[in-house]
A and B are shown apart, each in its own frame.
Chain A
Amino acid sequence: MNGRAQSLVAGLLSLLFLGVFLGIWHLATVPKKQAEAPVDEYSKLLGKGAKKSEGFPTLSQIGEAAFTQLKDPLYDRGANDKGIGIQLGWSLMRVGAGYALAILFAVPLGFLIGMSPVLYKALNPFIQLLKPISPLAWMPLALYTIKDSSISGIFVIFICSVWPMLINTAFGVASVRRDWLNVARTLEATPWRKAFEVILPAAAPTILTGMRISIGIAWLVIVAAEMLVGGTGIGYFVWNEWNNLNLTNVIFAILVIGVVGMVLDFLIGRLQAAVTYVE
């Protein structure tokens, strides 16, 4: 099977799986015909005759929710009722800020660590100790010291994005081929040129790998962090809709989270492909 036929078959299979999945969903949630009970005053009082929203949402309900949400994504009717676009905007802003800070911190520091074996050994125990800590565990400390839930969210994103970038940058810089460094040395390249024209491009694919891992983690963590601190953001949206017992919106939000995460990964992946070289 050649490449094109293969991807065609794979695409068709994907569609098939999607169809099966949606079919099962539909069959599982199709509303049962209930016996027409007489609607008397008593049952009205109990809410029995009214349209019930119990049970798992059906496909059409999800579609409807998606349509309403996407039709007006930026509406703002007070603290607990904002459009999905605004909530996503908040989440992306927090992830963007925390992630950018992490790049500014981790890449230069990783560079230094990668250049100096002594520093690498000296800092490694700290990195190994801090790396496995769940970023949410920092939350109380962040809230206490920063005293601002939104900035605390940014801090949590920072702290979870920083480790993969730091470790990958240090590793990438430390494993730049000796030959290339020798070329730079025999050409008496200045330290500046050596750093930016030899080490940085040589380590760039590894650094971008770290950044790609980081963006994935950051997007995972932001949902949890926003559920915790509340206020705004897609995580808060999910939690708020759960409190409203609006499972339809929860499922819609889950889909949106998935799509956005995929797009973020795709963007960094493109960047990674751009700096990758064939040896």
Chain B
Amino acid sequence: MMSFLQVQDLAKRYGGTTVFERVNFTMERGEFVCIIGHSGCGKTTILNILAGLDRATEGAVVMDNREVAGPSLERGVVFQGHALMPWLSAMNNIAFAVRSRWPDWNRIQVQTHCQKFIDLVGLTGAEHKKPAMLSGGMKQRVGIARAFAIQPKMLLLDEPFGALDALTRGTIQDELLRICEATNQTVFMITHDVDEAILLADRILLMSNGPGACLAEAVINPLAKPRDRHSIHHDAQYYGVRNHIVDFLVNRSKRYQSGELRSARSPSAKIVNLR
């Protein structure tokens, strides 16, 4: 059986410079995958290609047996800078998405649906505020609610918590975890935060440094689900994974780039199972 998402031999080049190449991976329905790598390795480009906002120079993306040729309501995107429309209230930002998904719905239906997702991300009471009146964490919640509200087949998150303080980040991570578990959502997420990846992901993809980046390793998260943010670091396997990833970022990501650790045309990432 074909995987839900297949990324085949993806490459992006600008003129003579290769940002990344030989990116191959698959995702199953309901899987949560995080991708980690240093800045400039092309993570955001990969996410944009998955979203259909950008085009790969080589390779293809197939989701649910159909090639990704452009943006689609089947893939919800949470943007790095939340990308809320400042002239619309939180509710209307979500309603904009909902009316795109279900153009035939009447006002009441749209509103009820929006309210459901506002409640889901814990923004009850702030639905009529404009983004400028909301804190960074609340804005990002609206962004998440907007992406969830169209009930996409896959959710793409571009470093959604990057700009938030640790406390807010933790709360929203918990919420994301809860919503994803409840809806069995397929998620692809970019992050810089190793702990966040271990908390959320089933599998963590590690990218080597760019330019000329590649998908170096695919680490299967050995920690059993459900995971709890407050006790996760007591898990015996926690530091094993964490050290493996941090070591990669500090040492191996460079050595992959120089070709020291990888043969010239190995097609796929090395699968790492630390269990």
Contacts and interface: CB of A to CB of B under 8 A. Distances in A.
Interface of A: 177, 179-180, 182-183, 185-189, 193, 197-198, 201-202, 204, 275, 277-279
B71 A188 contact: yes
Nearest to A185: B71
Chief secondary structure at chain A's binding surface: helix
Given A278-B132, A279-B132, A186 B87 contact: no
Task: List the 3 closest A-B pairs by CB distance, nearest first.
Answer: A179-B83, A278-B132, A187-B100
B74 to A, nearest CB: 9
Contacts, number: 63
Contacts of A183: 77, 79, 83, 85, 96-97
Contacts of B75: 186
Contacts of B71: 182, 185-188
Given A179-B79, A279-B86, A185 B53 contact: yes
A277 B87 contact: yes
Interface residues of B, number: 25
Given A185-B53, A277-B130, A278-B130, A180 B73 contact: no
A202 B51 contact: no
Contacts of A187: 71, 73, 96-97, 100-101, 150
Given A179-B79, A179-B81, A277-B130, A189 B86 contact: no
Contact of A198 (B73, B85, B150): B85
21 contacts: A177-B83, A179-B83, A180-B83, A182-B77, A182-B83, A183-B79, A185-B53, A185-B70, A186-B71, A187-B73, A187-B150, A188-B72, A188-B73, A189-B96, A193-B100, A197-B96, A204-B87, A277-B86, A277-B130, A279-B131, A279-B132
Contacts of B100: 187-189, 193
Contacts of A202: 85, 87
Contacts of B51: 186
A125 to B, nearest CB: 31
Contacts of A275: 87
A185 to B, nearest CB: 4
A267 B150 CA distance: 40
B77 to A, nearest CB: 5
Given A179-B83, A201-B85, A278-B86, A186 B77 contact: yes
A194 B191 CA distance: 30
B52 interface: yes
**B52, B76, B87, B132 pick with most chain A CB within 10 angstroms:** B87
Interface string B112-139: 0000000000000000001110000000
Contacts of A197: 96
Nearest to B73: A188
Contacts of B96: 183, 187, 189, 197
Contacts of B83: 177, 179-180, 182-183
Contact of A277 (B53, B81, B132): B132
A201 to B, nearest CB: 5
A32 B51 CA distance: 85
A177 B83 CA distance: 9
Given A179-B83, A277-B86, A186 B72 contact: yes
Nearest to B92: A197
Contacts of A185: 52-53, 70-71
Given A187-B100, A188-B71, A201 B87 contact: yes
Contacts of A278: 86, 130, 132
Nearest to A193: B100
Contacts of A179: 79, 81, 83
Nearest to B152: A186
B78 to A, nearest CB: 10
B128 to A, nearest CB: 15
**A179, A187, A188, A202 pick with most chain B CB within 10 angstroms:** A187
B83 to A, nearest CB: 4
B53 A182 contact: yes
A183 B132 CA distance: 18
A202 B85 CA distance: 8
**A197, A198, A202, A204 pick with most chain B CB within 10 angstroms:** A197
A186 to B, nearest CB: 4
Contacts of A182: 53, 71, 77, 79, 83
A112 to B, nearest CB: 22
A55 to B, nearest CB: 57
Given A189-B100, A277-B86, 10 more contacts: A177-B83, A180-B83, A182-B79, A186-B71, A187-B96, A187-B97, A189-B96, A198-B85, A278-B132, A279-B132
